[in-house]
A and B are shown apart, each in its own frame.
Chain A
Amino acid sequence: MSNIIPVEADLERRLRRELSKLDTSAAFGQELNARIAQLNSAQGAEARRALRARVDRERLSAERMLRRRFWESLAVMVGVGASAALAIWLVGPETLRALHVSTQVVNVVTGVCGALLIGWLWIAARDVGRGTGLRPALG
């Protein structure tokens, strides 16, 4: 009878021997590394796409800001210019007489101011036309 029913010690030994064989296959580590490498590369591509999208958004935002500033500055200059012209037209002759300045000096000063104004307008229009001056740095 004793050799029919397994002894507890024998059962323990058989359980330990058989169940200790439960392990992953030899390729487990390689497969895991491959899965992680694949995931890494997918995540890298995703990160690059996200960075590109962020840069594009920032560039558009900078372009909008520069356009708005250009029109604001233009409005200010037109306003200041019109006011200055009006002031010159109203009080210019009297001022020249009071300061004893020749017409030639007035013409030179007016010419220099006009050239500076045209130069500034040209630079501002060129920057707005390109988008922004930041583009080469972001590209």
Chain B
Amino acid sequence: MDEAIIEALAAGRSQAAFEAVVTGYRRRVFGLAYSILRDRAAAEDVAQEVFVKLWKSLDGFDGRAQLSTWIYAITRNAAISATRKRRPTSSLSEEHVLAEAEAGNATEDEVGADDATLWRAVAELPDAQRQVVTLYYQDERPVDEVAAMLGLPVNTVKTHLHRARARLAVALGARAAGGENAA
């Protein structure tokens, strides 16, 4: 995909190159922004902002870095910047995430989820684990691609994924048990 985009750029077909970028990276950019922001509207705004930035600067892409690396870095920066704008004084601590997860089911409602329990359990994961799980399962991506998206080493991603699965299994198991006991 990246080769075709770079070839189109080299041939001066900027519009075709940009369209290919939007087609190829729309879900990835949105997924990455969502994994950081946990808010569909904000993630969509960030994705739009990222593509506008790409539209402005795609002609100047010199090919020294990988196109995907460049796009993911722009997306991460835009999402982190949007997070700071939304909560200028708060930190991204685990306590904060848990408090937000307790506050409501906005996340699962937003994406039209059928499995609210699962979404709640994912929302309660620590930031890094939640991001890895979101990106890994959104499109069944390979671990190395998730690592590239988040700018993390592959082994770190594997560790987060392993811990997240274990945590989800325990959380969902406990909820299932709780539900059964309550029944």
Residues of A within 8 A of B (CB): 4-6, 8, 11, 14-25, 28-29, 31-32, 35-36, 39
User: For the complex, is B44 an interface residue (Cβ under 8 Å from A)?
Assistant: yes
A90 to B95, CA, bound (A): 108
Q: Which segment, of B68-76, B97-105, B170-178, faces chain A? A: B170-178
User: For the complex, is B48 an interface residue (Cβ under 8 Å from A)?
Assistant: yes
Q: Is the CB of B47 within 8 A of A24?
A: yes
Q: Is the CB of B34 within 8 A of A22?
A: yes
Q: Is the interface on chain B under 10, 10 to 19, 20 to 34, or 35 or more residues?
A: 35 or more
Task: Give the nearest-CB partner of A35 in chain B.
Answer: B52
For chain B residues 104-131, which have a beta carbon within 8 Å of chain A? 111-115, 118-119, 122
Would you give the shortest CB distance from B25 to chain A, in whole angstroms?
Answer: 11
Known contacts A11-B168, A17-B115, A28-B48; decide if A22 and B55 are in contact (CB<8 Å): no
A74 to B37, CA, bound (A): 74
Q: Is the CB of B44 within 8 A of A8?
A: no
**Chain A residues whose CB sits within 8 angstroms of the CB of B114 once the complex forms:** 17-18
Known contacts A22-B30, A24-B26; decide if A4 and B48 are in contact (CB<8 Å): no
**Residue in B30, B134, B140 whose beta carbon sits within 8 Å of that of A23 in the complex:** B30
**Inter-chain contact total with CB atoms closer than 8 Å:** 82
A19 to B139, CA, bound (A): 8
Known contacts A15-B118, A35-B52, A36-B52; decide if A20 and B22 are in contact (CB<8 Å): no
Would you give the shortest CB distance from A1 to chain B, in whole angstroms?
Answer: 9
User: For the complex, is B27 an interface residue (Cβ under 8 Å from A)?
Assistant: yes
**Chain A residues whose CB sits within 8 angstroms of the CB of B34 once the complex forms:** 22
**Chain A residues whose CB sits within 8 angstroms of the CB of B176 once the complex forms:** 4-6
**Residue in A8, A14, A24, A29 whose beta carbon sits within 8 Å of that of B118 in the complex:** A14
Would you give the shortest CB distance from A13 to chain B, in whole angstroms?
Answer: 10
Sample of 5 A–B contacts (CB below 8 Å): A14-B115, A14-B118, A24-B44, A28-B30, A32-B52
A49 to B55, CA, bound (A): 22
Would you give the shortest CB distance from B21 to chain A, in whole angstroms?
Answer: 11
**Chain B residues whose CB sits within 8 angstroms of the CB of A31 once the complex forms:** 48
User: For the complex, is B3 an interface residue (Cβ under 8 Å from A)?
Assistant: no
User: For the complex, is B133 an interface residue (Cβ under 8 Å from A)?
Assistant: yes
Centre residue among B27, B44, B119 by max chain A CB count within 10 A:
B44
